[in-house]
Amino acid sequence: MSLSTVNHAAAAAAGSGSGKSISPASPAAPSVRLPRRWPPAAAAVSAAALEADPASDRFSALSQVSGVLGSQWGDEGKGKLVDVLASRFDIVARCQGGANAGHTIYNSAGKKFALHLVPSGILHEGTLCVVGNGAVIHVPGFFNEIDGLESNGVSCDGRILVSDRAHLLFDLHQAVDGLREAELADSFIGTTKRGIGPCYSSKVTRNGLRVCDLRHMDTFGDKLDVLFKDAASRFEGFKYSKSMLKEEVERYKRFAERLEPFIADTVHVLNESIQQKKKILVEGGQATMLDIDFGTYPFVTSSSPSAGGICTGLGIAPRCIGDLIGVVKAYTTRVGSGPFPTELFGEEGDLLRNSGMEFGTTTGRPRRCGWLDIVALKYCCEINGFSSLNLTKLDVLSGLSEIKLGVLYKKPGGQKLQSFPGDLDTLEQVQVTYEVLPGWQSDISSVRSYSELPQGAQRYVERIEELVGVPVHYIGVGPGRDALIYK
């Protein structure tokens, strides 16, 4: 079946007819003015150099502190690019989020690894992995992940540092997460129920515990008691007793001993590394459209997965940050509740979901699927100042007779919106104007050179560049490490 028909109420109401489409030359298309960073000075390389060794050329052009961030609602494939780039960096650092961030990567032998908290650079022996102060740590889950890596031949000894300022996520936070979602009923956020939100809530209300508290077990129990009592007073379904507290304290005494070798003042480590000219790659969890400030609030995560989260989550000064790469799928997906203007329903959405294997790494939940939303992508590019984009899963669109880009939002009365709206009532009513591009029929999963892509695929990539004003330097055509085209 073809995905040529958009089965969405907003699309049906767009313009004066149903699903109005515009061509690239149409005067109704958004005006395009490429910013001064096009192409970035460091990445302005010759076509001959790219043809000779595109990977090395792109890697060497990246700045000392670079970042890989999501530019949709997560699940874009950030882990793969981080894994590919990690061999050229000394340190890979996570700046926010917790085990709700599932990153799927493959080693050189093609073995699949599903990571959640450990940075995706762990498969490279010479790379130090840092979990920064902005992240939240579920210690049992952290050790389960490490044990899984070790059992598969990946050494973690001396290769992972955890910030002493990072907050501890307890099982009680996970219990509260589930109770909170049940309480919201039909208005549930759609969290992974890993306790991320409740842990950040404890942090903000200043009764949370940090990794450094594990070094003071004489007061640890009293602090944890406050958390237990707070949860019990808030939720009737949360049962608490002193025996629970005693058991948890004894458990964390054992964890404290094992975690001690991993604990470090990572703010000092990272800034000292910058002074020593070491290269640092920042791995973002979740994505900009889930940012607590800039995302589709309240259907968001509890941290800042946009560029600002790098500074607050690692203690790195803004002036130190260089290239930021935005990762975007060739289409759009999201999980949980919340508005999704370009969503496809029924068989059309199912086709994308099954072709792209769109099921959550952390939860296994089926993802909602739709056409690529240029309005949302451009908004993310503006917020983060991306120097380039990584377009992933382009191969999933192979075989379609036509492909659509959501290029413009209008209010029901026809008024054009200048940007992605913060008001969810507005967002839920927007009418999407689509631009239709021809598809391609050939399988591109084995293509490794941009010039070998079908003309339809090249036109699709280049039209995205034109519309958002940011170059696409990396194109994913499959899950493996080598299934990457450098443009």
Binding-site annotation, residues for IMP: 75-78, 100-103, 192, 206, 286, 301, 365
Let me know: does 454 contact 485? Beta carbons within 8 Å: no
Domain ranges of the chain: 1-61+328-487, 167-263
Binding-site annotation, residues: 74-80, 100-104, 192, 206, 286, 301, 361-367, 393-395, 476-478
Read off the pTM.
0.86
203 catalytic? Reply is: yes
pLDDT at 314: 98
Q: How far apart are CA 209 and CA 167, in angstroms?
A: 6
Nearest CA among 394, 287, 319 for reference residue 71: 287
- Identity of the residue numbered 76: E
pLDDT at 480: 86
| Mean pLDDT split into 10-residue runs, the chain, 487 residues | 36 35 36 34 46 74 96 92 93 91 76 88 93 96 94 93 97 85 63 82 94 97 92 80 91 96 98 98 94 95 95 97 98 91 92 89 82 98 97 96 96 94 95 97 96 97 98 95 93
Cβ atoms within 10 Å of 404's Cβ, excluding its own: 25
pLDDT at 364: 77
Tell me which fold the domain 167-263 belongs to: Adenylosuccinate Synthetase, subunit A; domain 2 (1.10.300)
Instruction: From the candidates 103, 116, 124, 473, give the one annotated as an active-site residue.
Output: 103
**Residue given tokens 């008691």 in the structure block:** 225
Instruction: From the candidates 8, 203, 329, 473, give the one annotated as an active-site residue.
Output: 203
| Domain range 1-61+328-487, CATH architecture | Alpha-Beta Complex (3.90)
411 catalytic? Reply is: no
Domains 1-61+328-487 and 167-263 belong to one CATH topology = no
Longest CA–CA span in the chain (Å) reads: 71
pLDDT at 361: 65
Cβ atoms within 10 Å of 64's Cβ, excluding its own: 17
Q: Give the three-class secondary structure for 252.
A: helix
Nearest CA among 443, 446, 468, 302 for reference residue 391: 468
pLDDT at 11: 36
pLDDT at 2: 39
pLDDT at 40: 36
Instruction: From the candidates 8, 20, 75, 291, give the one annotated as an active-site residue.
Output: 75
pLDDT at 20: 36
pLDDT at 47: 52
Let me know: does 287 contact 69? Beta carbons within 8 Å: yes
Task: Judge if the upstream peptide bond of residue 454 is cis by omega within 30 degrees of 0.
Answer: no
75 catalytic? Reply is: yes
pLDDT at 52: 58
Give all strands of the β-sheet with 21-22 in edge-to-edge order: 21-22, 431-438, 402-410, 372-373
